[in-house]
Structure 1
Amino acid sequence: MAAPAPARDYSRAHYALFILTQINLVNYLDRYIVASALPSIQNDLGINNTQAGLLSTVFIVVFMLASPLGGYLGDRIPRKYLVAGGVLLWSLATGASGLAGTFVTLLLARAVIGIGEAGYGAVAPSIISDLYPRELRTRMLAFFYIAIPVGAAAGYGLGGFLTSTYSWHAAFFAGGVPGLLLGTLACFMPEPQRGAMDGPDAQTKLPFRVGLKGLAGNKAFWATTAGYTLMTFSIGGLGQWMPTYMVRVRGMAEGQAGLLFGGVTAVAGLLGTVAGGWLGDKMDRRREGGGLLLSGVGLLLASPFMYLALHLESEVATFAVIGVAQFLIFLNSGPINAAIVNCVQPSFRAFAMGLNVLCIHMLGDAISPTLIGAIADASTLTRAIEVNAVPVLFGGMALLMGAKLYHEAVPRPR
């Protein structure tokens, strides 16, 4: 009888996944500190809603423009050093945000944060895909993306607490510290071979022009990116303006609004991401594109809950319904990103992720905070957030289309 195959040792892979997940947590903590501190920043710097929205928009614009370059480099140089350098750069820029005394200076610091995060965001999923086989990827990527709601919640909570207790400057100083340690630890992660978990054929290097041509005709990639973009538009606007809505419209204290919204985001996002990872793997085993089908249904169901939350008088009911909407949205974290890395040639994954980042932010949360701020200036903040539920609905439709196209790009291994 043939001897059973030895169990694979994932200890070094788990170390890399742990470090990358902690970095992702700090990534979103740094992004959302500004949201909970926004009313104080506006008062101190004398800026209107449209200018306040630009603080997020300029970060996203720089981040998205630099991401394809980060992905291009990630397919060609050791990715762990790209991760480490990016984390150190954006952490220093976060701390420097606390020194800003004018709107322009703060805007410049937020732009530098975008450069640092671009070196990390495009390559981290490709590293994880090369550390784990396909049957584990959705769950491992879901673990990685758990950091999004937890980091966002930490940003809201830390930003709200430190801003109300000390000042918004102190919130940025505190936010910059963890990344300095994690950037150092990233240098000691394993650097997996590209396509190591996809068989020997997948490890063939792909000329850039050939890879770009293949990606241009990859319908599953573009349908998934379209759905992801619409979802990113809405959650970017919701994350930026919901705490301010609770303060201005509902009359909540600034620190309380950030803390409660952050807590709901953490719980709903954590549960949704874990459930999405488990269900996504299960549904992918049953049918091609099963994870994307789950993602599309989740967005279709989330849209009415986003709208309903604004029309409930009770603050408890409002936060409960927001939590349901966020749970349904965060179901997508693992399945969407697993679909992207699985439907692209391994040697081209980092660039594909960088291009995906460019698209979801260029047409997503790069414009939604400023657009919602402009609508609020022209009408009301309530009306602006109501409109924000519509892209989620269309995003769900796009992901259902992606689920149908998925089998064309991802033949099932035999």
Structure 2
Amino acid sequence: MIHSNVSKPAIPAYAWVVFALTFGLLISDYMARQVLNAVFPLLKAEWALSDGQLGLLSGIVAVMVGLLTCPISLLADRVGRVKSIAAMAIMWSVATLLCGLAQSYGQMLAARVLVGVGEAAYGSVGIAVIISVFPRHLRATLTAAFMAGGLAGQVLGVGVGGAVAASHGWRLAFLAIGLGGLVLALAYPLIVRESKLAGEGPIERAQVSWANIRLLFAGRNLKCAYVGSGLQLFVAGALPAWLPTYFVRYYDMPLKEATSIAAIFLAIGGAGMIVCGIISDRLVAGSARRAVLAACYCLGCAVLVTAALSFGPGSAQLVLLAAAMFLAGSTAGPSGAMVANLTPAALHGTAFAVLTLANNAFGLAPGPIVTGWLADRIGLLGAMQWLPVASMCAALVFVAAARNPQPELATARAG
């Protein structure tokens, strides 16, 4: 089904201001999360860490996000999304500064836990703010673009963090990123106002209660969107975490070169999120059709990762890995649009929190941790060769959604 382009509402300039600032904080969020992966080799050498310990430092942020995203998002829907966003950004920025001051593995792990607490609900509340000021027909594109901002942050976290760490040490990399995020966090509530966000008045907030939380799990398609998105992001979590280390070990690259190459791959992943989201908005309508498209994305990613890791280091492997990264986060747009269109507007912050919970519980948290655990036992290459299994499982979940068409607006109207 092809969408019609007639009678689509104009986009106010203020919406783009909100998008830019919220997108900027998302970049800060993921820079704070990803800079650690750029300095894996330095931390491993300085503190004599195993791959499993490194994977835990990376994955613990996603674990905390998974545990706290729903309660914090629900609180943000009730007390105000703008002030909640500012508070979260201040916390993760300060925690990133503490990472730069850590004197042991235990202190670093504690600081990373605090980073996760600060970032717990930002993705869900941030996208709820954005879709509240934009027309409905752009939801898949906006969701994909917003999540691509996460990869943009990972690109900068790896690229900038790796370059700073190589020349000035890993501590300064954390300190620079933490200070940048803190400045943006303090400026955000001065420009973005709660009263200008659609669906943020007292009537809409009053609708948010435990009694209607059941609407967040109504119907098979909604549940499949959560689970399928999370399973596919197992790959999108593992590859960014381990690519810099993979290039150091298997391509004998120095740290600065390895992080620069990895940053390019992450940029490709971000572009893939956006392009795949645009395709979803322009070429398909209805949750069942979006589920079919998402399943195709997952299968394509599985094939490309399998092919890439069947080659030894070289140009062919790099090309295939780049193509796999393009599809690693491709389901963000279709699944985000499914969630937005099947839930009430007053609960969008909490709905995207459930999606974030699934993304972290099934993908972003276990991806780097399980890969690191396996790498200690069968080597990093062997561990990465298991990644296509997650994509194939995600494809099966989306196929299950496609077999059970569900009217998109029925659930939202029930709110």
Q: Same fold (TM over 0.5)?
A: yes
Question: Is the CA contact 1:24–1:147 (under 8 Å) kept in the aligned structure 2?
Answer: yes
- Describe how 1:57-136 pairs up with structure 2 within 5 A: 57-136=59-138
- Give 2:29's match in structure 1, choosing from 27, 30, 35: 27
Question: Is the CA contact 2:52–2:373 (under 8 Å) kept in the aligned structure 1?
Answer: yes
* Amino acid in structure 2 at the alignment position of 1:367: P
Where in structure 1 do 4 or more consecutive aligned residues deviate above 6 Å?
Answer: none
* Coordinate RMSD, CA, aligned: 2.5
What residue number does 1:214 align with? 215
What residue number does 2:261 align with? 260
In 2, Cα distance between the equivalents of 1:314 and 1:233? 23
Question: Is the CA contact 2:67–2:357 (under 8 Å) kept in the aligned structure 1?
Answer: yes
SS of alignment partner, residue 251 of structure 1? coil
In 2, Cα distance between the equivalents of 1:374 and 1:304? 24
Per-residue CA deviations over 1:325-344 (Å, capped at 9, x if unaligned) read 12123332322212212211
Question: Is the CA contact 1:138–1:281 (under 8 Å) kept in the aligned structure 2?
Answer: yes
In 2, Cα distance between the equivalents of 1:140 and 1:217? 23
What residue number does 2:149 align with? 147
- Describe how 1:34-53 pairs up with structure 2 within 5 A: 34-53=36-55
In 2, Cα distance between the equivalents of 1:9 and 1:312? 47
- Describe how 1:9-408 pairs up with structure 2 within 5 A: 10-187=12-189, 188-191=191-194, 192-193=196-197, 195=199, 205-206=206-207, 208-266=209-267, 268-285=268-285, 287-405=286-404, 407-408=406-407
Question: Is the CA contact 1:70–1:122 (under 8 Å) kept in the aligned structure 2?
Answer: no
Question: Is the CA contact 2:139–2:340 (under 8 Å) kept in the aligned structure 1?
Answer: no
SS of alignment partner, residue 68 of structure 2? helix
Cα drift, residue 283 of structure 1:
2.5
Cα drift, residue 9 of structure 1:
5.4
Question: Is the CA contact 1:53–1:373 (under 8 Å) kept in the aligned structure 2?
Answer: yes
Cα drift, residue 393 of structure 1:
1.5
Q: 1:324 to 1:193 in 2, by over 3 A?
A: same
In 2, Cα distance between the equivalents of 1:271 and 1:57? 24
Percent identity between matched residues is 25
Cα drift, residue 265 of structure 1:
1.7
Residues 294-303 or 397-406, more deviating: 397-406
SS of alignment partner, residue 331 of structure 1? coil
What residue number does 1:410 align with? 409
Per-residue CA deviations over 1:321-373 (Å, capped at 9, x if unaligned) read 11111212333232221221221111222122222222221232222322222
Question: Is the CA contact 1:138–1:334 (under 8 Å) kept in the aligned structure 2?
Answer: yes
Cα drift, residue 91 of structure 1:
0.8
In 2, Cα distance between the equivalents of 1:130 and 1:353? 13
In 2, Cα distance between the equivalents of 1:63 and 1:207? 21
What residue number does 1:199 align with? none
Could you tell me the TM-score, scaled by structure 2's length? Answer: 0.90
Could you tell me the TM-score, scaled by structure 1's length? Answer: 0.90
Question: Is the CA contact 2:61–2:113 (under 8 Å) kept in the aligned structure 1?
Answer: yes
Residues 107-116 or 55-64, more deviating: 55-64
Question: Is the CA contact 1:67–1:118 (under 8 Å) kept in the aligned structure 2?
Answer: yes
Question: Is the CA contact 1:136–1:281 (under 8 Å) kept in the aligned structure 2?
Answer: yes
* Amino acid in structure 2 at the alignment position of 1:140: L
Cα drift, residue 406 of structure 1:
5.5
Q: 1:363 to 1:139 in 2, by over 3 A?
A: closer
SS of alignment partner, residue 252 of structure 2? coil
Q: 1:138 to 1:6 in 2, by over 3 A?
A: closer
* Amino acid in structure 1 at the alignment position of 2:356: V
Question: Is the CA contact 1:280–1:294 (under 8 Å) kept in the aligned structure 2?
Answer: yes
SS of alignment partner, residue 379 of structure 1? helix
| Runs (5+) with no aligned partner, structure 2 | 1-6
Cα drift, residue 411 of structure 1:
4.5
Q: 1:36 to 1:301 in 2, by over 3 A?
A: same
In 2, Cα distance between the equivalents of 1:357 and 1:270? 17
Residues 34-43 or 128-137, more deviating: 128-137
In 1, Cα distance between the equivalents of 2:295 and 2:198? 30
| Runs (5+) with no aligned partner, structure 1 | 197-201
Per-residue CA deviations over 1:247-302 (Å, capped at 9, x if unaligned) read 11232222211110111221x224312322321111334x5543333222111111
SS of alignment partner, residue 118 of structure 2? helix
